[in-house]
Structure 1
């Protein structure tokens, strides 16, 4: 074979490899954009359902895949993009509708200054659907006046008082405790536990007292949505509030504007101003507004160590990515070992 022929063969082979790699990349991007995606859990807010170090698979087809919003971005590099051109958040048809207790994966609505699809990714439990009425009273969640059926993995903060002895690593490992700690050298601790775990604590020989920690009405309201004059919610007393739904006709006043202003402005693209007792939307005085999309109320399973709808408001459909369907694998960063029992765990 001549030298020229060898060069030609090498060139042809490189072209074929280039085509194969290009098609493979396109296929990967299509799968990632429209079908499935995986991400790493980096917080304790959903313990004991999701653990820090879980690598979670997101099913984007369940509710309909959202098409890309940021047009000019480098695939597989989420921070490499320009936001000069942003498309509206359009969605393909889905196979099912969102149900209560689904684990929703979404872009964080409380993050401002970024395109929708470049905001932080979060997973929370859906507890209320569009049109539902939600109430939290003395930590008890109810939807449409019916008690909410909480999964066994939901945790609350408890105060433990020992006989004066300090709790050791064996105790912490047995209850899989990753946050909280000693409050007083007298043997007083605050830890998150499920209700079933809290019952078991009564059988521990060195535990003298266990109680669930609660906020009182009107306490710590400055951290909870909507922060303002007319609503005094806290994490344990919230509502009642109806979750907004597409096509809902609102009769606005200064009180409920405090609740809905964020979604009217930031999620539905309007300007809102108030002069005295008059409300202006896009420069026109009005007392009426029609909701343009569905919203949801989501909560963390680690209820007292949360960053959920109680703190930043309603989840707009435009920010929804998909459903958390499975843990692919899990690595315990504290104990430096794999959690084999969580590999391919269904959610």
Structure 2
């Protein structure tokens, strides 16, 4: 339901509650109940609360809570304190409001005397209800625990009332700050190393680019999309807003470190064992991988020749004709011939997969959504999970990357070097690149850590034959080991026309996830970042890049039929973009799932700018004191 209906209801509600009859009882004029906004300020004063609380009614996500607070405070001022009264005040106050308006014996004179046991007793159950709804169970545990630490004073509020009020308004204030000002964020993975480390706790400045009004404002406070421990959604889509962003003081610039909602997280595999499960990861990539797995399991392996057995048999047949070096030379030719035949058979098999990709994707979606099973590459096994879940924009997982391309930029990647509008992008101080290392004998792990800051299984693997290094770390190692060879890991691109069918299937691993676009971790073809208001001519090459933009982010239908394109059922030869987009990449370039995997980030997914590391916990133990309260560049 659109939030507009809620605000219209708030405008109409004072008339439904007949405040023009109730206000005169408190010494106010009837006309004061008829002025939108002002009437809530007067009602707040009558209830004994600050008038400025009326302004909180304007804040999505808080407005309904404040409406309930106004109602409960208002009816209690008129003597309605019981559990049933409180429930009505929170959820359906119309009957009590009508009674207050029409019964002249009901006056706004009630103020709780905290020294009178009868006053305390009549509101006890209602106060318990408010505390429970504010913070279920935990609120009561906190209140009772603290009640033993403080001495009860005569005339003081009960601990339930005191902590109910305190927790309620602490959550209201914290929710407003978290939604519109800044939010804490923890680095869960190493995709930004070594600019940001696993265990870093950040402050995300939401006002820098303009605070984003939540799309789903009705949400459990201070959690993102799932309530911990119980693993249920923390939000409801009963109220929904259109994308709206408040004015900010800056635009996103190239190379800013940005937090955003994961763009490929509109549909997620729901596995509550996160972060070790699949929830929030690239659903569309999971579908492709699952489709390939199901296809490969269906292949009759007997149709693929056993190269080793065939070569051995052929060697025995030729051994009577050739001996020694002559036999070896002949067998090399036989092996090449057999390899070509095997490759031809394999290509034919994978050509069938390419021709029927949508069939296999449908099977994969069924396996994931209905059978609730899929293969997890990270765990190397089939996982049983809870199926799939749709996430609104503001409830998709939070990711953090560096913004490499802004709207209108042209980008390409050659040999791990990014080019932005033809110019080399800078290599950042703590940016990791991956190297194949040879002719080196490493010292102990303790020496590697203390002297070079490098850790096994994080910065180097396979006895040091593969290393992830910053420029300064590379320089230090080259000075210490002048004989060592450091070769940048570089996966060259092959023209699609020269790719086999099996190689084309691997093209699905990188954006735009098309058989006819060969991109990889270190090399990407030239492309353009969409800009709001700009128009492109549609063609087979760029449709693969922008079809998801058109359908998933700008919510149009798109169909290709007989070489023509149809948008929303109308033939189209061009398309004008409705939003700005960004290209995000991790600083740990060879170990980052980023735009190279899932594509562009729409402007309505932008959360804020990462501003400061306020705390850093080393996963191996201890605190990284040197990182506390450091800025992010």
TM-score by length of 1: 0.91
Once the two structures are superposed, the pairs formed by residues 311-330 of structure 1 within 5 Å of their partners are: 311-330=597-616
Question: How many aligned positions are there?
Answer: 342
Query: Are 1:194 and 2:473 counterparts?
Result: no
2:208 to 56, 62, 65: 62
1:77-126 per-position Cα deviation (integer Å, ceiling 9, x unaligned): 32112234432221101011111111010011011221111111111111
User: 1: CA distance between counterparts of 2:257 and 2:440?
Assistant: 40
CA distance in 2, matches of 1:81, 1:14: 26
Q: 2:258 aligns with which of 89, 104, 116?
A: 104
Per the alignment, residue 36 of structure 1 pairs with: 182
Q: Secondary structure at the match of 2:178?
A: helix
Task: Give the structure 2 partner of residue 176 of structure 1.
Answer: 454
Contact 2:507 2:515 (8 Å CA) reproduced: no
In the alignment, which of 252, 259, 263 is matched to residue 545 of structure 2? 259
Asked whether the 8 Å contact 1:181–1:189 carries over to 2, the reply is yes
Provide the rounded CA distance (Å) in 2 between the counterparts of 1:46 and 1:265.
Answer: 30
Query: 2:596 is paired with a residue of what secondary structure?
Result: helix
Task: Identify unmatched segments of 5+ residues in structure 1.
Answer: none
Cα gap change, 1:235/1:21 in structure 2, threshold over 3 Å: closer, same or farther?
same
Which of 24, 28, 47 is equivalent to 2:170? 24
Distance in 2, matches of 1:155 and 1:180, equals: 9
1:210–1:285 CA distance, 2 compared to 1 (3 A): same
Q: Which residue of 1 aligns with 2:116?
A: 5
- 1:37, 1:59 within 8 Å by CA — same for their partners in 2? yes
For residues 17 and 139 of structure 1, do their structure 2 counterparts lie closer, same or farther at Cα, with a shift above 3 Å needed?
Answer: closer
How far, CA to CA, are the matches of 1:51 and 1:181 in structure 2? 16
Deviation at 1:206, TM superposition (A): 9.3
Instruction: Give runs of aligned pairs for residues 215-226 of structure 1, distance below 5 A.
Output: 215-218=491-494, 221-226=507-512
3-state SS of paired residue (1:332): coil
For 2:523 and 2:114, locate their aligned partners in 1 and report how far apart those are by CA, in whole Å.
81
For 1:343 and 1:324, locate their aligned partners in 2 and report how far apart those are by CA, in whole Å: 14
Aligned-partner Cα distance in 2 for 1:3–1:28: 29
1:40 Cα offset (Å) = 0.9
2:479 aligned partner: 203
1:342 matched to which residue of 2? 627
Q: Pick the structure with more helix per residue.
A: 2
Deviations 1:163-191 (A, max 9, x none): 556753321453233525443xxx55212
Q: Show the counterpart of 1:158.
A: 435
Alignment of 1:63-78 (within 5 A): 63-78=209-224
Q: Which deviates the most, 72-81 or 289-298?
A: 72-81
Conserved 8 A contact 1:162-1:206: no
Q: Distance in 2 between matches of 1:58 and 1:51?
A: 16
CA 1:242–1:91 in 2, change beyond 3 Å: closer, same or farther? same
Q: Look up the match of 2:408.
A: 131
Report the Cα distance in structure 2 between the residues aligned to 1:277 and 1:242, rounded to whole angstroms.
23
Counterparts of 2:437 and 2:468 in 1: how far apart (Å)? 10
Following TM superposition, by how much is the alpha carbon of 1:296 offset from its aligned partner in structure 2, in angstroms? 0.8
CA 1:169 to 1:6, structure 2 compared with 1: closer, same or farther past 3 Å?
Answer: same
Change (3 A) 1:164 1:71: closer
* In structure 2, C-alpha distance between the alignment counterparts of 1:102 and 1:206, rounded to whole Å: 36
Q: CA deviation at 1:204?
A: 2.7
1:198–1:164 CA distance, 2 compared to 1 (3 A): closer
Q: 1:12 to 1:167 in 2, by over 3 A?
A: closer
Q: Which is richer in strand?
A: 1
- The unaligned stretches of length 5 or more in structure 2 are 1-112, 120-154, 227-233, 268-389, 495-502
1:3–1:292 distance in 2 versus 1, CA, 3 Å = closer
Q: Distance in 2 between matches of 1:129 and 1:50?
A: 22
The alignment yields a C-alpha RMSD, in angstroms, of 2.3
Q: Scaled by the length of structure 2, what TM-score is found? A: 0.51
CA distance in 1, matches of 2:192, 2:512: 23
Deviates more, 1:102-111 or 1:2-11: 2-11
Larger Rg: 2
Higher mean C-alpha deviation, range 305-314 or range 225-234: 225-234
Within-5 A mapping of 1:38-53: 38-53=184-199
Which of structures 1 and 2 has the larger relative contact order (alpha carbons within 8 angstroms, sep 6+)? 1
